[in-house]
Every structure is written in structure tokens, then in C-alpha cells.
Chain A
């Protein structure tokens, strides 16, 4: 086949002349090493290529060959538990075959070709099937039953269907489409920049339960929803994302480490096989796929990594699973776009980012949703997307933050002041929001407790009042406040310290069920309300705030999920303590 010739190399951008049949976004092999690249601009006879590998040593005169297909990922059993780079190269295999450093020009199949999977058909000969229909099942990991779907654009009558041990490239079924035979294999491909088809989107109405109190309790995200976590360095973006990857009640997690630290991926690789999913009891790694394109890995592959991740996520969503994708950090992705755009000498927009930044970000988040899948049964499933953003200096006017906020429904604003006071998660309760709160209330009311939304409202109000009162205290001192106001401060403090504050590294505190969250909040509000009543009856504030039971409220977060009767005793104790306080004060009056 005829090849193109390189005319220019400038960092990750390579220009080639005379590349036959060049199409936008087709994958090409660049130079003697055959580096992986993608055509991102065509001008007359010139193809502009972003190269996913380091281009040192490549020069004009070398050849470029087009594969004729756009950048695609491989789909099929064997993805779960894997770790890939931004263009789906298996990092574990690269490590064992080529050593500790990433070398160039090496190709390894993302999905193992030799492994046998037990294919269990669920349709029979003569059945008519079309795209999205499930024809068989494969136990991919202890907890993931992989559904083999009829590929997009394919239909026909089942002519033959096989059973038993099959490799991903073996034929598992043969369809007859009006005389044409179509072979179906477990392995399929999909171009990463094109969303996989769905029938329609539905409004998300179930919470993605994360076990993180400030999230579930105050700013919940829906299954199929989107959330944005911006914050300065060290404010807790990665820890929050890791917490979600660990504890969110999704079936499948896709974690994209995009332009961040190598050690953070190592941490996941070490921890996830050890940690047990609270729902299934199996190691978390059995439901997780990792994409790691760390900050020192090539920039162009970083640009591709979020698309690679979301395509894998869509594939499992298509199978009917609730999938959650975390991207840490989308700022690094945007910076990769900026770098490539700069090399293309495109007209820069704000802060040098390309003018299409906002639409690119929107098109990524829009691939989330609660959807009706293609396929007979009209399966409903969700894909939730949570993106971290790292704005320079933590400044929220950053174009990446602003473009993201326009398309995401939940904003968890991380706050430098809270982080440096070691209040974690440092999600600012005054500025953060969730647009799902109202839609999810009916779920909370029905499944947890009727009064939960009300409790949240009271808590939020206390925190808002606290902020106002703090202003006054700063100016004139605490003595200027009435006992009622001071009770508000005490109540708000208890919400902050005993509820919102949650230590990700504490064995028990790291995850709190909705039930327990409700009980904790209830105890705090109960104390506050009883305290207020006591004040009305003339009891001194100091006596109230020094009650022993406050220690028990503070300890509640460390109470194990299997020990929730603790709260029955706690509620009783609150009542008991207050009535004895009232008794005593009556005696004193007498």
C-alpha cells in the first residue's frame, strides 16, 4: 500500500504529505517505529497527525501508514480488572514484556486472545436477533456477568449458536440475514469519539449512593448524573474520586487517571484488590477498569484517555449495568487539547485554550445518562460521570471549570481553607450544590425515612446561620451573641465535625450507609432542638453544651454498620440527659 511521507515533526504533532485515503480521526502508524497517531486536520495534500507516543528521533522522510480506521477500543470479556494507558494499551502486559519503563512503538492487544471463556448462549437457533440483543453470557469476574450483544448495525436469524469454552476471536454465533451469513465474535471494536447508540435518555431519579455523608446527605448525585469537583492542589479531589470508586453503589467503575501522579494509580492497584465491595463482598478490583495516562506519559494519549474510558463505560452500560466513571483530572485533558491546538496554530480562545473547549467538554459529559438501551428488552441502565478539575491557583473563573459547570448538575466545591484546617472532605457546604436533590427526595423518603429531607433542610439552615454569626463574632467577639445564637453555633459545629467531616482513611468512617447517615443527622438535630427547648426553659447554655451525650454523638461515626442499635440508646440518652438537666434546674430553683 502507498504511504505518506513525513514533512515536519514538532513535538507530538507530525505532518505528512501524500497519505492516501486520509480521513479525519483515522489512526496512522508513524515512522520506522510505527508510533500510533491520529489524523486531526487535513489541508490539501497534508495530514496533521497527533502522535500518542514520544516523537524524539522521528524525522522528515520517514513513512506514515494509515490503518483506515478511527481510534477505537476493543470490547469484550477481559476488560474488568485491567489497567490501560490512554489508547488502551495494557500496562500490565507492557510491564511484564518490556520492563519498568514505557517503550515506544510496542503493540499489545488490549484483550487477551488466548484466554478461554465459558460462553453460555441464551438464544436458540431460528431466533431473530438484532443490534443490542443479548445472545449469551460470560462470567467475566466473580461479580460481572458479561453480556454478549449483537453488534450495532447487525441483525438476522440465528443460524448457529455455540456453547462452552471460547476465545474472544472465536465465532460464537452465525446469523443469517436474508441469505448473508454474519459471524459474531465476542470481541468487537468501537471508535472512541463516537457515542454508542441508545434508544433514549430518561431523567435520572435514583441516587448514586457513595457512603460519603456530605455527598449523599447534602449534595447527592443521581445514577446517570454528572458531577464536577474543582479544587486547588491538595484539597482532596483525588481522595474523593478514590472514595467514589471504592464505595459508590455502581456495578462497574471506570477510573481514568488523566495526567496525574503515577503513585496514585499504584495506590489503586494495591488497594482495590484488597478492599471488599460492601454490596458483593468481592474485591473492588473485580468491578473496576483503570485507565492510567499519568502526567509524564505522552500528552496526545492523555487527550484520548477520557474518550477511551467513556467508551468502555458505555459498553458496560449497554449491557444493562450501572456504570460510574471518574476522571482525574479533566484539566489535564483540557491542557492536552490546548497543547495540540497550539501546535496546529489554531486561533486560541480564553487562556490559550481552543475555542472548542466548551463543546468538547460538553460532548464528553453528555455521554452520561440514564438510558433505555438498544436491544429487545429495553434494558434501562445508567452511566454517571464525575470529573475533577484542577484550576490554576484554585481560581474558579478558570475556563475549564466554567465550561464544566455549564454541563454538570452537581458541584462539589473543594475549599483550600477547609483543607488546610484538615476538614475533609473539604467540600464547601455553602457554595456546593446538587440539582438532583429534589428529584431524589422521593427516593430518600421512601427508602430511608420520611423526615430525612427535612433534617437536611434544618442542618443546611444552621450552617448558613453559622456563617452569618461567625462574621459578627469576628467583629465583636462571642460574648455579644445571645444564648440562642450560641446554640446555633454549637449545632452547626456538631454538623460540621460529627457529620460532614469524614476520614477516608478510617476503617469505619470511610463508608456510611444511608441508614446510618440518617441516624447520625437525626441525633445531631435532636440534640440541637432539645437544647433549644432547654434554653427556653431557662437552663444555662454551658450546662447544655457540656452534656456527656455530646461525646456519644461525636463517637457515632466510628460505630460499625452492624451496631446501629447504638442509636436507639443514643436517642434515649439525649432525652434522659435533657430531662435530668431540667429536673436539676427545677431543684435549684426550689
Chain B
């Protein structure tokens, strides 16, 4: 039995210093028992010969240094896993917070995990159909990818994430899916929206939820995504499931990180965020992927609300440096009542080329994607120009492109929150819209595809 210490000498914010300790290990889990029997968790930040610096996972409120009994557990923070966790709701430590029974674990796993050996990875290349045209058509998601949604406050990223969760499927049968939902510092309403959505669609029984609300302890947000991903890894690589992990909201996570860094009195980096934030975020995002000789996969959709819609802010910036592309939500489109308000121009799925084409989606997908993108960009550029110099400054062809980009937003990007378009439908809407453009202007698509996919719309449109 490990010994308990009553030698706390200092508490400041989430940090505690314990004196005269022996055999403390770096990163080991610490349990603090308050006078009233209440328990708090923490972790060793610095282990020295006779003292230890502890970072609490929970608030320090009410801890009396003279009364606190500190126990070093000799192991890291571990999460219990078993098949029965599906359908359950936990806090950031993997403790159930629903009314269900206690989990009888098959295994206890350290939440920090080990890095995947890059040699053991398998390259993500299987198309996931989300049923959302602007994603499937232009920014295709593949299994094992990490593709964040870059949003702004007040934009419907939760609705989009819920829709992706509801509709995602692979064009193959007989595989098992699961959803891991990791909520960090979001409001009760947002969390509730998600839970209800999962309930209504019957997906709750295939989901594991980890919830830390805005009014829950900030520091628990540091362990929450790690706990959630440990469970995701268990489902994916031990139980062969294809796991979709929604991490919301990474901005709240990073703010918690900053708060703790400040408490540790570390030299602050840009905007006060710690210099190691890149590495810290990577230790979360890099847990997505596929592994050779294992059947399951982990696909991550982190949500990042960009402070002031600024993508150079450290949170989206460092996220973008780690993830494999990004989906941008646009305030302009939102104001135009386009749902989902995805701006396809700055959005990019870096792994898209691996998941599309013949035998995966359709042979014309790549050409069509490039053409739609080019035509939309041209239309938007022309629109900009027209704003400054007036419609008259545009050539007649440019005017067609302006019209195209407007219809593209309203018919291709815009769709119902419960509208699930299959990939054929998505591609066909694309061709249909392209048919309003004079054929010689369609330089990115092969002639054979024009014959095969475009011609049938030409008369219809006229």
C-alpha cells in the first residue's frame, strides 16, 4: 500500500507542492483526499528527491494544505475499457456520469497512449460518404483522416458535425461503426443537442460520450480528449470498429492549456499560449489513423472556433499545421442562409485524392472537382471585381461565372440538415451546374466526361 503524505507546502491555482516525499515518479497519478473525504485527482509534473510538483486535474477549491492527504498511485491516469462502454456517458477521467451501472473493465489503459510507429501506419484511402456535397464532392473525407472544422462563434458547426455523425458511411457493407464524442467546455445546450440527435437516430447505442461542460472544471479538459481517444483506440484496434471522433471545441481545450501554463509560470508563447502547444496538439491529432494488419480506424473531426474568425490565431494555425486539411465555415454564407456554410475555396482535404475516382467514387470525380472549384473561384473573383467597378466591367463570360457561383452556393453547397445525398447525386448536381457554362470554358474536364456526364443536362438547362 502506498503511503499518504500530509506535507503539502504550497497550493497555487492548479499546482501543489508536496514535501518530504519518496520514490515519486514523473507523470504518476496522485489522489488527494480532503478532510471531508472528497477525492481529487492530480498528476506529478516535476518529481524531485524530496518534493513533488503536482498539477491538479480538478479545482483546488476547498483544499486545505494541512489537512489534504496526498497519495501517489504509482501509475498514470488510466481509463477502464470494455465492450459495455458503448452508449455510455463519461467525464474527462472516464468515470460514468449517466445513470448507468459501473463499468466492469476488461482492461485499464493509460490515457497518454504510445506514439504509433510511422512504419506501422497504413495510408488512409477509403472514401467516407458524409452525404454533404461540399465535403464529398470537393473536400472528400477518408477513413483515418483528421479533418477539422474551422468555424467561428455562432456558426452552425455543431449541426454540421451532428449531420456528419448521422450520415457518414463507407460504400461497403458489414463493418462496425462507433462514434466517440469528446465535448470540452461546451454549453449544456450544445451537448444536449448532440445527445438528443444521437438518441433520435438510434446511434447512441454505438456511441461513447465524454462530456466536460462550460461550467465543469477547466483542467479536466486536458485529460478529456486523451481519455476519449484511448477509448477510440480500444474500439478501433482491439474491437475492429471504424470510429469517428468528434472533438469539440479545441479552442476551449487550448484555453485550458494556456491557463495551466500560466499557473506553471512558463514563458508564454504567442498570445500567451505555451510554446509546446504544437506538440501537445499533435499528441491528440496524431492519434487518428489506420494501422497495418488491424481492421479498425480512427477518423477525427475536431472543431475549432477561430477567435475573431482569424485563421492565423495560434489555435487554428497550429491545428492546420498538424491536421490533413480543414473545412472552413463562412460567416458570409451563413448570412446568406446557406447551410452548411462551407466556403470551399479555403477548405481542403489533403487526402482527398486517395479516396476518389474509379472504383472508389466515380471516374469523373477528380476532373469535376477541379472544374467546380475553378469555376466557383472565377465566379467569386468576378463578383468581387463587379462590386468595385460595376457589372459593366465584366465580360459576358464572367457574368455567366458569377451566375454559376451563385447557383453553386444555393444548389450544391446548400442542402438540408437532414438531406443525405449520395455521391452520384452530388456529382450530378455538379455537372448540372456546369452545363450553364460554355463548353470551351470547361478546361479541367476530359472531353469524354463532358460527353458522358454533362451533355444530358445541356438541353435540360436551356
Contact = CB atoms under 8 A, between A and B. Distances in A.
Contacts of A29: none
Given A266-B121, A299-B276, 15 more contacts: A8-B49, A9-B46, A10-B26, A56-B26, A59-B25, A95-B119, A100-B116, A101-B113, A262-B121, A295-B282, A295-B283, A332-B278, A351-B269, A352-B268, A474-B388
28 contacts: A7-B48, A8-B47, A8-B48, A54-B114, A55-B27, A56-B26, A56-B28, A56-B76, A57-B28, A60-B48, A60-B49, A83-B119, A99-B117, A101-B113, A101-B116, A102-B116, A103-B114, A232-B312, A233-B321, A261-B322, A262-B289, A263-B124, A265-B119, A265-B121, A296-B287, A332-B278, A348-B267, A422-B374
B412 to A, nearest CB: 18
Interface stretch (B8-16, B79-87, B91-99, B345-353): B345-353
A393 B317 contact: yes
Interface centre among B110, B115, B270 (most CB of A within 10 A): B115
A476 B267 CA distance: 50
Interface stretch (A138-146, A174-182, A334-342, A373-381): A334-342
B114 A102 contact: yes
A404 interface: no
B118 A57 contact: no
A33 to B, nearest CB: 11
Given A56-B27, A58-B26, A295 B117 contact: no
Interface residues of B, number: 72
Contacts of B282: 259, 294-296
Interface string A473-514: 010111100000000000000000000000001000000000
Given A57-B76, A342-B267, A352 B275 contact: yes
A208 B64 CA distance: 67
Smallest CB-CB A-B distances: 8 pairs:
A295-B282, A393-B312, A233-B320, A56-B27, A101-B114, A9-B26, A59-B25, A296-B286
Contacts of A92: 119
A265 B118 contact: yes
How many chain A residues sit at the interface, stated as a range, is 35 or more
Interface string B386-418: 001100010000000000000000000000000
A296 B116 contact: yes
B118 A392 contact: no
A218 B425 CA distance: 44
A256 to B, nearest CB: 13
A137 B353 CA distance: 43
B395 to A, nearest CB: 9
A261 B393 CA distance: 46
Contacts of A402: none
B120 interface: yes
Nearest to A55: B26
A267 interface: yes
Interface string A552-567: 0010000000000000
Contacts of B122: 266
Contacts of A257: 118
B389 A57 contact: no
Interface in A383-422: 390, 392-395, 420-422
A554 to B, nearest CB: 8
A209 B126 CA distance: 35
A202 interface: no
A392 B389 contact: no
A187 interface: no
A261 B286 contact: yes
A392 B287 CA distance: 23
Interface of B: 22-28, 45-49, 75-76, 110, 112-124, 144, 237, 266-270, 275-276, 278-279, 282-283, 286-287, 289, 291-294, 312-314, 317-318, 320-322, 324-326, 345-346, 348, 350-351, 353, 373-374, 377, 388-389, 393, 443
Nearest to B321: A233
Contact of A94 (B119, B279, B377): B119
A394 B321 CA distance: 11
Interface centre among B24, B144, B276, B313 (most CB of A within 10 A): B276
B47 A60 contact: yes
Nearest to B317: A393
A395 B377 CA distance: 25
Contacts of A295: 278-279, 282-283, 286, 322
A535 interface: no
A292 interface: yes
A89 to B, nearest CB: 10
A100 B49 contact: no
A343 B209 CA distance: 36
Contact of B267 (A58, A233, A352): A352
Nearest to B310: A393
Contacts of A394: 312
A435 B97 CA distance: 63
Contact of A335 (B275, B314, B373, B393): B275
B117 A10 contact: no
A297 interface: yes
Nearest to A9: B26
A197 interface: no
Contacts of A478: 393
Contacts of A100: 116-117, 120, 237, 291-294
Nearest to B443: A554
Contacts of B28: 56-57, 59
Contact of B373 (A83, A261, A422, A477): A422
Contacts of B322: 261, 295
B80 to A, nearest CB: 19
A11 B274 CA distance: 15
A164 interface: no
Contacts of B318: 392
A467 interface: no
A279 B212 CA distance: 57
B116 A57 contact: no
A99 B119 CA distance: 10
Given A296-B283, A351-B269, A335 B278 contact: yes
Given A267-B123, A339-B279, A342-B266, A59 B118 contact: no
Contacts of A59: 23-26, 28, 47
B455 to A, nearest CB: 21
A424 to B, nearest CB: 11
A68 B142 CA distance: 49
B275 A266 contact: no
A236 to B, nearest CB: 11
Contacts of A61: 22-23, 49
Contacts of B114: 54, 101-103
Interface string A58-75: 111100000000000000
A269 interface: yes
Contacts of A233: 317, 320-321
A91 interface: yes
